[in-house]
Each structure stands twice: as structure tokens, then as C-alpha cells.
A and B are shown apart, each in its own frame.
Chain A
Amino acid sequence: MTADQRTAGTSGATLAAADAVDRGDDPARAMAEDAAEHHLMTINMGPQHPSTHGVLRLIVTLDGEAIVKVVPDIGFLHRNFEKIVESWSFAGIVPFSDRNDYLGAITNEVAVCLAVERMAEIEVPPRAIHLRVLFSELQRIISHILFYGTFGLDLGAFSPFMYAFRDREMGYALMEKATGARMLYGYNRLGGLRNDLPDSWFRELERFLDYMERQAWPEYMALLIENQIYRERTIGVGRLTPEEAIAWGASGPILRATGVAWDLRRAAPYLSYDQFEFDVPTGKNGDTYDSAMVRMLEIKESIRIIRQVLRILPDGPVLGRVRPNIRPRPGDYYSRVESPRGEVGVHLTTDGGSWPYRLKWRAPSFCHLQLIPLMARGAKVADLIAAVGSTDVIMGEVDR
């Protein structure tokens, strides 16, 4: 644990808890002792709490309403992904990777596929590449819609959540028609996609995009983003500087909110992203308002990308010829994609065997989770909840 983290959000007084984390102990006891010494209160938020986004546990030391210290505790959704896949075939990793970031399943699959396809030199037909872009962006829209809803919920506005679910349901209906599943698709295969889509599906998709752009998006803005109470609750809250965000490995909307225009779709184009025109929305202050706004604008950019894909989508097969037994070339392979939450990286090491020697999953949520104590510096309890909400952490991805 670095010196920075020790003092983040503290007056420098409570160090025993940090030592407990270093030792691998439960920090709650040490924090409670610290707190009693300084007449503070230690509250255990989660893993069962209405707004911890899954099974995140935050151990919070409070001085009245003010936050003195936050220690996130993880590991309640650990499924041993990285070790299990060491005894799995390469094709089997793809559907399992869905479960990491379960709101960005397609982008997870794409990340794995890109790594394995590079390793085994598998050709992917152009239609499949474009469709992967399309599904990545559709996934991004659905994920950002949910972010909008839950962020409103964290700030105490219940109704935007129901509006978000109305539209998310439409997105999931589209996904279900295409892939047969609503959240965990298993749609990507090594060498392409599982099945092609009927024309009617594309027409339905266009209707969904029109609806999102003309009706839903303005409604989102009017319901929450333009609200004065919302603005006062978010502007200047959970503020990060670009240097901090980069130093802690932030990516995605959190990094872009600080003004750094880093988007892998633009910075290191994969699939066919270099063929499409889109903007990379950035914020200025790096606060929760900006990171929410970046996501809202990204919904529009994703719609724009999908429209361009539909325009140039070529005919042809969606699944290339893949040999049943992949012969990997020994070595290290790294692929990274821009998931709804940020940079998902897959580091694959093979020794030539038919399963991976080691697979490391770089989860953006894991990096963002470490930013929460920083974002909650000198804040109130309500700001902590807003900060957690704005990082949009997915615990499945953090614990893996």
C-alpha cells in the first residue's frame, strides 16, 4: 500500500487500518479501534447494501457526516476465472469471459477472441468484424443506459431508473433475438460469430436507434441530467485530476471525464473502428457530473457508429474456417478493447499446449475501485455513494 493511499481521505491519523490491509487482515476491526480512539464512527457498508452495486463492501470511518476514511473490500464474487481457464480450451474461454463484466459481455468476448485469433492466426470474415463492432456498440448503449438509471438511484431519484429499464429492455430484446440470451451471450466464436442475422433484425435495430436518439436520450437529459439538484449533487463531487487518473490506471469514461481523450477505439483501433467516424467525448473537471455526461454523449456516438456499420455492412459468412484443434504458437499475446467501463485487456501466455499457460484479465473496474477513496476525499456520505455510482464498478469484473 502506497503512502498516497494511506493518507487518501484521512487527516493522516488512522494508519492501523492500512497496516491491517497490508497484513491481509480484515481492516474493519482495526478501523473501529482507530475510530474509537478519535471518537469517530466506523460503518460497514455492504456487501449487502442498497447501493453498493453488487457485493462491494466499503468500510467507512465517519466524523458525523464527513468521511474520514474509506477502505473498499473485495472478493465476494470471486469465481477463479483466471485459474480455471488454464485448464480450458481456447474456445471455452469465450463464453466464460461473459461472466466477468456481465454488463459488457460482448466486449469481453471480443477481447478474448482478438487475443486467441492473433495467437492461432485465425482469419475473421469482414462481415463478422463489422458485426462485432455493431454488437460492441449496442452493448455500450445498453450498459450506459443502466448506468444512467443506477446513478440516479444512488442520488435518490427513483423514476429515471424505471425509464432506463424500459429502454434497456428494448436493447435486451434485440440482443435476445440475435444471440438467444439476454445478458451472457456466448455469441462470439473464434473466427467470427455464431450465427448471422435476418434483415428484419436490422430494421428493428434501426427503429431502436431512432427511438433512443429522438425520444429516450432527450428524456434522460430532462429527467435527471439537467435537474438543478442533480447538478449540485454531482458537479465538483468525486473530483480527479488527469494525473491522478492516469497514475491509478483509470480508463474509459472516468479517465475521459478528466479531459484525457484516451479511447482505445481511436488510440489503438481494433476490429474495424478505424473505418468509422466518431468523436471521443471528454469532460473538464473529472467530477461525477462529467463522467456521467461523457457516458451520455457516448450513447450518441455509439448510435452514430452503428448507423455507419449498417451502411457499409458487407455480405458474406460470419464465421471463418477454424480448425477444431487450434495449434497455438508459443508466446505472449495481448489484446485490449474499450469496454463500456474502460480498457479491458487480455494477456494470454501459451507454451504451445492446447490450453493457456496463463491468462491475465485486466479489469477497468478494479482500477476504478481503487479511486473511490481518492474521490471521497473530504466528502460527505452522500458524495461517497455518488462517487461509487459514477465509477460504475462491476464486481464480477473486479473479483473475476
Chain B
Amino acid sequence: MNILLYALLKAVIVVAFLGLNAFVLIWAERKISGYIQRRYGPLRVGGPAGALQSAADILKLLTKEDFVPGGADKWLWTLAPAVSLIPAVLVYLVLPIGKTVVLQNLNIGLVFFASVTSFTLLGIFMAGWGSNNKYSLVGAMRAGAQLFSYEIPLILSTIGVVIATGTLTLQGIVEAQAQHHEWFVFPQFVGFVVFYVASLAELNRTPFDLAEAESELIAGYFTEYSGIRWAMFAIAEYSNLFTTSALGVTLFLGGWHGPWLPGWMWFLLKSYLLVFIGIWIRWTLPRVRIDQLMDLGWKFLFPLSVANVLGTALYLMVR
């Protein structure tokens, strides 16, 4: 009974945080992009600096008609948003928020994270195929090629850290950084760069937003979605933006480790710093082309991450 209660509590916490995170990031993205583009962003909806914009957005999406396109494959089409949202929720399980604050300290935390996030592709592909729309299909095919190509350097880039610490638990990786008072971003700088670039591609954000390239494919795989189903994709996207940044913080930036402030605060601060950089990049750069994306993934990031793994292993062996 107790176990069930705990599980329920954890689920509620995660979902609450998911909503809160989306609430903050919708507003933050609009506000930051506004300032980058020399305008104000949301201003009038209410609260300080239009902070209730997210509430208005969510309310609008909730009250929209639930519309299923005529030619769609109903099962695939309706399930797709859920399938892409579920992995976004699951990864919170292993995020080490503080020294003792983690929902479930799995001893294979990193592997869990990597395997669960690869499920996102399934949701995207179901959406693209189920929509029975050519733009959606092209978008889904792009997403398939892209997520698959960048999954590999993303995971390989984390292996350097794993070799250095000898553990797969995210908790253990942070502990190792705290012990030596050295964040892995310095010894594993190459790994960090590969990780960050690959994670931007995994998140489908500019300059790698080919799957939803507005000027080419209208909205890519979610062209046909509207209302709450579209919102589920958006919430999953914002949640993934946070969790991937949080993973980066955990692996390379010392996680909850930091002076003066409590651990969870450091964790959130660092995570949202990486999120901010992601937003900054999104609103600054143009989009790459599909062949350039593949070149970058396979001919640059992949060899670089392999070299990083080998270099780290050699260094540890020689030392």
C-alpha cells in the first residue's frame, strides 16, 4: 500500500512539474525571443510582463475543437501525442535533483534515460504516418533520419563521463564531480560540445528543426494536429528541452553541486541556463539542410565522440 501511495505521489509530482515547466517555458521562449528580436513579447495578458500568457495559450488549446482529419489513420493519429509525451514524463524518474532528492535512483540511470528518450521517435513517426499528409510524412522521415543519426553521438559523448567515473547512476556521476570539485565540462569539453549539439538536434530545435521546418513543411509531422493534441506535442517538446538540459547539467556541470544555495536550486539554475542558451540559439541561427545535417552528424560529431571515448580511456589507462 505504501509503495502504491509513493508511486502515486511521484507521478503527481512529475506531472505537476511537467505542467509548470511548460507554463514557464512557453512564456520564457516568447519573452526571450521577443527581446532577441527587439520587441517586447507578451505584455498584455496579465501578471508581471504578461506572465499569464501561458495560461491563456493553454486555455485556448484546451477549448479548441478536437478535430480528426478525414484521411487519418485514427489509431495511430490519436495515440501519437501520448506516445511522444510518455517518454518525456518517464525520464524525470532518474533526474538527480539534489543529494538525496531523486524519484528513483536506478543503477543504470543513464541507460534508462537514453533508451526512454529514443521512444520519442516512435511518437513522431506515428504522427507523420497517421496524418495521411505528405508534409507530415516528409517531416516524419526527416525526424527519423535525424533522431537516429544524433542518438549515436549523443550517447557516445556521455560514455567519456561514464568511463571517468565508472558508474551509470546519475547520482554517482554527480557525487564524483562533487568529490573532486571538478565539473566534467573541463576534462570532457569535447564530449560536452558533442552532447550539446546532438541534444539540440534530438530536440528538433533550430538550427536542426528540419522535422517541423515551417518554411518548407508547414509544421512537419504535426501539421494536422490542433488543440490539446498539438499541446501534448508542445508540452513534450518543452519537457524534453528541460530534461535534456538537466542531463547535460548532471553529466558535465556538476548537477546539484554548488556553494551557498541548496542543491535543488543549483540544479534548476544550471538546467535553465542551458535551456536559455538553447532558446538563444534557436532564435539566432538559420536552419541547416538535410544533407548538411547528416554530414554534421555522421562525419563530424560521430568521429569526434568516438575519439573522445578512446582518448578518455587511454588517458585513464596511462595514468
On A, residues with C-beta under 8 Å from B are 41, 43, 49-51, 62, 64-65, 152-159, 162-163, 166, 223-224, 227, 229-230, 232-233, 380-383, 385
Q: Of the candidates B36, B141, B213, which one forms a contact with A382 in the assembled complex, judged by CB atoms under 8 Å apart? A: B213
On B, residues with C-beta under 8 Å from A are 33, 36-39, 134-135, 137-138, 141-142, 206-207, 209-210, 213-218, 283-292
Least CB separation from B215: chain A residue: A51
Please, which residues of chain A bring their CB within 8 A of the CB of B292? 232-233
28 contacts between A and B (CB under 8 A): A43-B134, A43-B135, A43-B138, A49-B218, A62-B138, A65-B290, A153-B215, A155-B286, A155-B287, A156-B207, A156-B209, A156-B286, A157-B285, A159-B37, A163-B37, A223-B284, A227-B285, A229-B207, A229-B288, A230-B286, A232-B288, A233-B286, A233-B287, A233-B289, A380-B290, A381-B138, A382-B210, A382-B289
Contacts A50-B218, A156-B206 given; does A382 touch B290 at CB 8 Å: yes
CB of A114, distance to nearest CB on chain B (Å): 37
Docked pose: A155 CA to B215 CA in angstroms = 7
Least CB separation from A51: chain B residue: B215
Please, which residues of chain B bring their CB within 8 A of the CB of A152? 286
B36 in contact with A159 (CB, 8 Å): yes
Docked pose: A43 CA to B135 CA in angstroms = 8
Docked pose: A50 CA to B38 CA in angstroms = 23
Please, which residues of chain A bring their CB within 8 A of the CB of B289? 232-233, 380, 382-383
Docked pose: A159 CA to B38 CA in angstroms = 9
CB of B149, distance to nearest CB on chain A (Å): 14
Q: Of the candidates A159, A229, A385, which one forms a contact with B216 in the assembled complex, judged by CB atoms under 8 Å apart? A: A385
8 nearest interchain CB pairs?
A156-B287, A162-B37, A157-B286, A51-B215, A155-B286, A382-B289, A156-B286, A159-B37
A381-B216, A382-B290 are known; give 12 further A-B pairs, CB within 8 A.
A50-B215, A51-B215, A154-B215, A156-B214, A158-B33, A159-B36, A163-B38, A227-B285, A227-B286, A229-B286, A233-B288, A381-B138
Docked pose: A153 CA to B283 CA in angstroms = 11
Please, which residues of chain B bring their CB within 8 A of the CB of A227? 285-286
Docked pose: A163 CA to B288 CA in angstroms = 21
CB of A349, distance to nearest CB on chain B (Å): 42
A156 in contact with B37 (CB, 8 Å): no
Please, which residues of chain B bring their CB within 8 A of the CB of A43? 134-135, 138
Please, which residues of chain B bring their CB within 8 A of the CB of A162? 37-39
CB of B136, distance to nearest CB on chain A (Å): 11
B285 in contact with A229 (CB, 8 Å): yes
Least CB separation from B291: chain A residue: A380
Least CB separation from A162: chain B residue: B37
Docked pose: A311 CA to B287 CA in angstroms = 44
Docked pose: A41 CA to B135 CA in angstroms = 11
CB of A87, distance to nearest CB on chain B (Å): 41
CB of B35, distance to nearest CB on chain A (Å): 11
Q: Of the candidates B134, B206, B217, B291, which one forms a contact with A41 in the assembled complex, judged by CB atoms under 8 Å apart? A: B134
A159 in contact with B215 (CB, 8 Å): no
Docked pose: A158 CA to B137 CA in angstroms = 24
CB of B154, distance to nearest CB on chain A (Å): 20
Q: Which of A62, A158, A224 has the most CB of B within 10 A?
A: A158
Docked pose: A272 CA to B301 CA in angstroms = 57
CB of B205, distance to nearest CB on chain A (Å): 11
Please, which residues of chain B bring their CB within 8 A of the CB of A163? 37-38
Please, which residues of chain B bring their CB within 8 A of the CB of A51? 214-216
CB of A136, distance to nearest CB on chain B (Å): 29
Least CB separation from B134: chain A residue: A43
Least CB separation from B289: chain A residue: A382
Docked pose: A381 CA to B213 CA in angstroms = 11
CB of B143, distance to nearest CB on chain A (Å): 13
Docked pose: A50 CA to B220 CA in angstroms = 12
Please, which residues of chain A bring their CB within 8 A of the CB of B206? 156-158
Least CB separation from A389: chain B residue: B215
CB of B140, distance to nearest CB on chain A (Å): 13
Please, which residues of chain A bring their CB within 8 A of the CB of B142? 65
CB of B296, distance to nearest CB on chain A (Å): 10
A382 in contact with B39 (CB, 8 Å): no
Docked pose: A156 CA to B207 CA in angstroms = 8
CB of B297, distance to nearest CB on chain A (Å): 15
CB of B207, distance to nearest CB on chain A (Å): 6
B286 in contact with A224 (CB, 8 Å): yes
Least CB separation from B145: chain A residue: A65
CB of A132, distance to nearest CB on chain B (Å): 33
A159 in contact with B209 (CB, 8 Å): no
Docked pose: A50 CA to B138 CA in angstroms = 16
Please, which residues of chain A bring their CB within 8 A of the CB of B36? 159
Docked pose: A50 CA to B219 CA in angstroms = 9
Docked pose: A41 CA to B134 CA in angstroms = 8
